[in-house]
Amino acid sequence: MNDPIRIWRCDLSKQADSILDELLEETRKILLSGKYTLGSRLVNFEKEFAAYCGTRYAIGVASGTEALYLALAAHGVGEGDEVITSPFTFLGTASAIIMTGAKPVFADIDPNTFNIDPKLIESRITPRTKAIMPIHLYGQMADMEAILHIANKHGIPVVEDAAQAHGSLYRGKKAGNFDCLACYSFYPSKNLGAYGDAGAIVTDDPSLNDKIRLLRNYGQPTLYRSVINGINSRLDELQAAYLSIKLKHLDGWNTRRQEIAEVYKKKLSGSSVRVPLFANHLYSNYHVYVVRTERRDELQRHLEKRGIQTNIYYPVPLHMLKSHEFLGYKPGEFPHAEKACEEVLALPMYAEMPMEYVDEIAHEIWKFYSI
């Protein structure tokens, strides 16, 4: 019989409690203001988040998936087009592509980073390719230098899926600083998470900024005067206010995650699980702490029996999902992604996690493989 969960994979209540007074005060002010969408809190957060990312603009939208969709739409991606991306990611990446009418075209991952392998991208390019969408998975940024070299060679725009990369760095730069649109999710479990769905797009391009602002609000420059076909994807005032409060703490929370990751690395060194390792030019926010190991499912059950919650990101690659059968891919086409789905396991990781939890988790992992 399993113990009740004592150590959660991610305990969001601890963070909320630490800033609860600020959250409640902002909630009270907004509710009494009568202004709930497209107000001053959104304007303020967009300025703050753009400054944090080092970009000229940030556009708040309703979710990370819609951020990706709007970024692609702003580039004119539509029916019959193709977008190259990884099969090893959350299904929202492919969903955003399909929403435009385009087709996701997959390239396998580098098994050491879990990100799209730049060496495999060029062979996937066709006359229908209208964008390349790398994912900064688990908080480790993709090889932007290599990806941009290919994209620039072929004149193809890059849209960064930065849904898991709040504060992560590639050669000192955050997502959105590579002449690309970068799309963030603020789903509650993200390093910078709202209290519901929310997202943003960052860019330095004024024309793309203007177009996305139209697209997120029915294509209206003024009320009832639509000039292009858009959708309703607005980041509301409550979520914008909450995100502004939390943004002040993001770097500190990320630093704490780094400290936890270092202890995991030390405690699991020499064990039967492979811990994440990063090149010197990368800074990960450790959105999730993912180890790789054989007997993954058995290990997960062992930890659950002892009250330790883990998750699998992701159990099925996108090309093998039933909903994506229409794309025509077959098992075995992307072996590195498929193998990763059999071996990855996300251990507990959140900024407020007591360090003694890491000791206990590592002890149980060593214990399992000694049996």
Residue 211 has pLDDT above 80, yes or no: yes
Which residues are CB-contacts of 5 (< 8 A; sequence separation ≥ 6)?
307, 308, 309
Domain total in the chain: 2
Is residue 6 in some structural domain?
Answer: no
Question: Are 53 and 134 contained in the same domain?
Answer: yes
User: How far are the Cα atoms of 100, 200, 258 from residue 168, in angstroms, in the given order?
Assistant: 28, 16, 11
Question: Are 218 and 267 contained in the same domain?
Answer: no
Confidence tier at 128 by pLDDT (50, 70, 90): very high
pTM of the predicted protein model:
0.97
Is residue 8 in some structural domain?
Answer: no
Is residue 260 in some structural domain?
Answer: yes
Residue 216 has pLDDT above 80, yes or no: yes
Q: What is the pLDDT of residue 262?
A: 98
Confidence tier at 371 by pLDDT (50, 70, 90): confident
Which residues are CB-contacts of 345 (< 8 A; sequence separation ≥ 6)?
273, 290, 291, 292, 293, 296, 299, 300, 310, 311, 312
Question: Are 49 and 163 contained in the same domain?
Answer: yes
Q: Please report, rounded to a whole number, the percentage of residues in the chain having pLDDT higher than 90.
A: 98
Mean pLDDT score, 288-317: 98
Mean pLDDT score, 74-82: 98
Mean pLDDT score, 53-74: 98
Q: What is the pLDDT of residue 1?
A: 60
Q: CATH number of the domain that 300 lies in?
A: 3.90.1150.10
Q: What is the pLDDT of residue 2?
A: 75
Count Cβ atoms below 10 Å from residue 195 Cβ, excluding itself.
Answer: 16
| Domain stop point among 226, 247, 268 | 247
Question: Are 212 and 292 contained in the same domain?
Answer: no
Question: Are 149 and 165 contained in the same domain?
Answer: yes
Is residue 29 in some structural domain?
Answer: yes
Confidence tier at 320 by pLDDT (50, 70, 90): very high
Is residue 184 in some structural domain?
Answer: yes
Mean pLDDT score, 296-320: 98
Is residue 186 in some structural domain?
Answer: yes
Q: CATH number of the domain that 237 lies in?
A: 3.40.640.10
The Cα 258–Cα 285 span in angstroms is 7
| Domain stop point among 212, 247, 282 | 247
Reported as a single tens digit per residue, the pLDDT across 170-207 is 999 999 999 999 999 999 999 999 999 999 999 999 99
Mean pLDDT score, 273-290: 96
Question: Are 33 and 158 contained in the same domain?
Answer: yes
Is residue 7 in some structural domain?
Answer: no
Question: Are 154 and 172 contained in the same domain?
Answer: yes
Reported as a single tens digit per residue, the pLDDT across 137-169 is 999 999 999 999 999 999 999 999 999 999 999
Mean pLDDT score, 344-350: 98
Question: Are 228 and 136 contained in the same domain?
Answer: yes
Q: Any idea which residue has 């492919």 for tokens?
A: 94
| Domain stop point among 183, 215, 247 | 247
Summary mean pLDDT of the chain: 97
Mean pLDDT score, 237-263: 98
Is residue 92 in some structural domain?
Answer: yes
Question: Are 231 and 294 contained in the same domain?
Answer: no
Question: Are 228 and 95 contained in the same domain?
Answer: yes
Q: Which domain holds residue 171?
A: 13-107+114-247
Reported as a single tens digit per residue, the pLDDT across 35-60 is 999 999 999 999 999 999 999 999 99
Question: Are 262 and 240 contained in the same domain?
Answer: no
Span of 48-52, 118-122, 367-371 with lowest mean pLDDT: 367-371
Question: Are 243 and 254 contained in the same domain?
Answer: no
Q: What is the pLDDT of residue 35?
A: 97
